[in-house]
Structure 1
Amino acid sequence: MDRHLAFVSLPAHGHVTPTLPVVAELARRGWRISYATGEQFGFEVEKAGATLVRTSTPAPAAPPPTVTGPAVVASFLQRIVVDARTSLPVLTAHFRADPPRAVCYDATSLAGRILAAETGAADVALLPTFATNERSSPFARAGAPPPEILAVVREMADLAAAHGVELQRGVGILAPASLNVVFVPREFQPGADTFDGRFRFVGPSPGTREDDGGWSPPDEPVLFVSLGTAFNDRPEFFRTCLEAFADRGPVAMAVGQHVGVDGLGAIPGNIDIRPWFPQPAVLRHAAAFVSHAGMGSTMEALYYGVPLVCVPQMLEQEANAGRVAELGLGVRLDAAGITAADLRTAVDAVTTDAAMRTALDRMRTAVRGAGGAEAAADAIEAHLTT
């Protein structure tokens, strides 16, 4: 039988990037991989050894908002609906002519779940964040969804039902797949012992990104500052960082695509500001990471044993930051009203706390021992032989 796999993901860094080392490992093992996502990820997909199947999910109409809330969550869920409606005709036509053995889809991809059901291929969900079930959900404290979110969930349910797929009720959106590959280690997953054998906690894989030559490390450990690739339009936050860390050693600060460096004022000589940095390459040389606590960034920090100063911007990041603080791997700050003194105190704390250093070393061992891309590929191959 043809060794063909389909990967399906929303066109977003936090969803595509964790999967690419798995794609590369499967390609190395002789699998032929078709990866369905947005054209902007074509270079990375093909570099990993897959063939791009271009979807046409429209980009958000405006930059991410500076204030998060139910409307933002509803907007994201609406993107999932739009992605499914626009992608399914492309996916159905492509994979009807070239059927895959399995559909490995981002856990938020309704299109991927429907494609697996319609083709009869094995279903493999790829989870870039915490797994959830009836007994363990880091998002449960959010309470009942507000009306604007429920309206979109109903729309998702109707679309799924039209394709013979039933949405899960109560926990998450889509029910677990027959195999669920989670890109966090068991030691970081809340309630890990409540998940059955359908869940494999493999942790992150930096892949070739840790050897990116686009940045030369200084002679001493660097402080890294980044709010990730989405909710990063925070010029006031970056100005506070400039005040906090001027003349305190080398700083690498990623401000994203929305913040103009010229509008931040005078830049201290010790701070290197760019839209983006090769994150794993910087974290290899980092003393601390001031971060939005997105799961990809959190996992990469823990992979290198870097303490976190978490400044979460949205619910998912709040959950990640809470887990970081709970396990003694960093501290959490409130993004509202944060001061330069708050940032300096937090960085000093995480870089001098001996107990935190012990916890970080223990978690780094766990993260690296989870197996990463090789463990994910092993799980997928084993699933296809059962």
Structure 2
Amino acid sequence: MARVLVVITPAEGHVNPSLGLVKQLTDNGEEVVYVCTEEYRSRIEQTGAELRTYPFPEDAFSHDPALKPAEYKHPYQFVYMMVGGIIRKIVPEVLRVTADETFDYLIFDSLMGWGGTIIAEKLGIPAVCSIASFAFVEPLGTEQDMDENRKDVKELYEATMKLTRQLADEFQVRVPAMDEIARHEGRLKLVYTSRHFQPQAEKLDDSFIFAGPSIVPRQDAPAFPFEQLRARHQQTVYIAMGTILNKDLDFYRLCFDALQDLPVTFVLSSGKHTNMEPLIERIPANFIVQPYVPQLEMLQHADAFITHAGMNSTSEALYYNVPLVMIPLTSDQPLVSKRVQELGAGITLDKNNLTPVALRAALAEVLGNPAYRQQAQVIGESLRQAGGYKRAADVITNYFAAINR
């Protein structure tokens, strides 16, 4: 069987979707070497892959200015983050820890963009792009329509291309054009969603494989008193704002103010790095607050989900037919929430004008109008029928087996 190199950006929303695929590849007999950081050792090794690590600050996407998620106003901002925050920092490390080794093919994270192409070229192997969000038909930030002639846009272009030329010289590869850096490259592009949910799917060719979300029970998930949910109230609402942007105590305070007197049980996942001590006395009786909640299990009990609309969380909710109240914050989240609302499975709120009244009204609409759950079920069915990580692994192994015959 083949020897596979997997290189994924060290972030929850990118590592987690890859785990089911990697386990299935190893179960199919592939030998997988997975390059990531020490933070993810336990869950990666549970797949049967061999882990190679490199130094990278834990929780870097919360603290590193170059990596911290932002609301991109122009595509160049996203590309600069890729080049300066990811390619420059990760590609040399990947080549170092895999030096003098041979592989049959590469699976790389789409957030690495051109960096994945560099690794494939230096190792002389074909590649598969792992896309943990929607496939970008247009570059992230395009919808903002910022003037190309603005001084700051021109400066950002020059800074990005200067760094790109330096890296191309370092790795002895061709200098890409700006629009090539973030492009989805590879023989195959694996997208963890369905064609139904993907915006503008008709513009994507057959090299894009829509396999649906990778729903794999997490071995490190903590216990949770699910029996307490219906004992309190008939409806349960789950609240979680992801693993990078979940430290906003003002938002949690707003939730308490808006929802404290509703006959609903609220489960709030505050994040393991969030200090909730200042709010301990403010937690209402209808709230269960824990630093980490087993999300896949919780969503199977939830009547609605209040979320930042990260792709992983959104896909998992829809997979279990849960409608959403979405407060997109950064990156691709506005795109994800827009698509959910277009398909009728949730309501989007503006983070800049969020009030207790607005949050309460949106939640009441989603809980009270069955159309939202019905549309969530339509999307959920498309995600379940896409085949998941088993189909993804079969498509990849069959493709490379065929071209190597």
Normalising by structure 1, we get a TM-score of 0.90
1:348-363 alignment runs, 5 A limit: 348-363=364-379
1:289-328 alignment runs, 5 A limit: 289-328=305-344
Q: 1:370 matched to which residue of 2?
A: 386
Q: 2:98 matched to which residue of 1?
A: 95
1:22-101 alignment runs, 5 A limit: 22-59=21-58, 60=60, 63=63, 68-69=70-71, 74=77, 77-78=80-81, 80-101=83-104
Q: 2:200 matched to which residue of 1?
A: 191
Q: 1:174 matched to which residue of 2?
A: 183
Give the whole-Å Cα distance in 2 for the aligned partners of 1:58 and 1:225: 27
- Post-superposition shift, 1:279? 1.2
Q: 1:130 matched to which residue of 2?
A: 134
Give the whole-Å Cα distance in 2 for the aligned partners of 1:234 and 1:205: 28
Give the whole-Å Cα distance in 2 for the aligned partners of 1:137 and 1:99: 33
> In angstroms, what is the RMSD of aligned CA positions?
2.8
Gaps of 5+ in 1: none
Q: 1:223 matched to which residue of 2?
A: 237
Corresponding position: 1:277 with 2:283: no
- Post-superposition shift, 1:202? 1.0
Q: Which moved more, 1:168-177 or 1:313-322?
A: 168-177
User: What letter matches 2:25 in structure 1?
Assistant: L
SS class of match (1:30) = coil
- Post-superposition shift, 1:88? 3.5
Give the whole-Å Cα distance in 2 for the aligned partners of 1:294 and 1:148: 30
Corresponding position: 1:112 with 2:116: yes
- Post-superposition shift, 1:213? 5.1
8 Å Cα contact 1:22/1:374 also seen in 2:
yes
User: Against the structure 1 CA distance between its residues 154 and 294, is the aligned structure 2 distance closer, same or farther, given a 3 Å change threshold?
Assistant: same
SS class of match (1:277) = coil
- Post-superposition shift, 1:257? 4.4
SS class of match (2:98) = helix
User: What letter matches 1:81 in structure 2?
Assistant: G
Residues 22-70 of structure 1, C-alpha deviations (whole Å, 9 max, x = no match): 1111111111111111110111110122111102234539647899445
SS class of match (1:302) = helix
User: What letter matches 2:276 in structure 1?
Assistant: V
- Post-superposition shift, 1:169? 4.0
8 Å Cα contact 1:168/1:174 also seen in 2:
no
SS class of match (2:293) = coil
8 Å Cα contact 1:350/1:356 also seen in 2:
yes
Give the whole-Å Cα distance in 2 for the aligned partners of 1:341 and 1:189: 32
Residues 265-293 of structure 1, C-alpha deviations (whole Å, 9 max, x = no match): 42112211122212111111111000000
Give the whole-Å Cα distance in 1 for the aligned partners of 2:155 and 2:257: 39
Give the whole-Å Cα distance in 1 for the aligned partners of 2:220 and 2:274: 27
Q: Which moved more, 1:204-213 or 1:233-242?
A: 204-213
Q: 1:263 matched to which residue of 2?
A: 278
User: What letter matches 2:348 in structure 1?
Assistant: R
SS class of match (2:194) = coil
Residues 93-144 of structure 1, C-alpha deviations (whole Å, 9 max, x = no match): 44343312111000112443311111111210000111123xx567431224
Give the whole-Å Cα distance in 2 for the aligned partners of 1:158 and 1:369: 44
Give the whole-Å Cα distance in 1 for the aligned partners of 2:235 and 2:219: 16
Gaps of 5+ in 2: none
User: Against the structure 1 CA distance between its residues 141 and 354, is the aligned structure 2 distance closer, same or farther, given a 3 Å change threshold?
Assistant: same
Q: Which moved more, 1:209-218 or 1:245-254?
A: 209-218
User: What letter matches 2:121 in structure 1?
Assistant: A
> In percent, how many aligned pairs have the same letter?
28
Residue-pair matches, total: 383
User: Against the structure 1 CA distance between its residues 70 and 349, is the aligned structure 2 distance closer, same or farther, given a 3 Å change threshold?
Assistant: closer
Q: 1:233 aligns with which of 247, 271, 285?
A: 247
Give the whole-Å Cα distance in 2 for the aligned partners of 1:141 and 1:335: 18
User: Against the structure 1 CA distance between its residues 86 and 319, is the aligned structure 2 distance closer, same or farther, given a 3 Å change threshold?
Assistant: closer
Q: 1:140 matched to which residue of 2?
A: 142
SS class of match (1:250) = strand
User: What letter matches 1:11 in structure 2?
Assistant: P
1:1-40 alignment runs, 5 A limit: 3-40=2-39
Corresponding position: 1:252 with 2:267: yes
SS class of match (2:332) = helix
SS class of match (2:289) = strand
User: What letter matches 2:266 in structure 1?
Assistant: V
SS class of match (2:396) = helix
- Post-superposition shift, 1:304? 0.5
Give the whole-Å Cα distance in 1 for the aligned partners of 2:159 and 2:345: 36
Give the whole-Å Cα distance in 1 for the aligned partners of 2:39 and 2:160: 28
User: Against the structure 1 CA distance between its residues 247 and 262, is the aligned structure 2 distance closer, same or farther, given a 3 Å change threshold?
Assistant: same
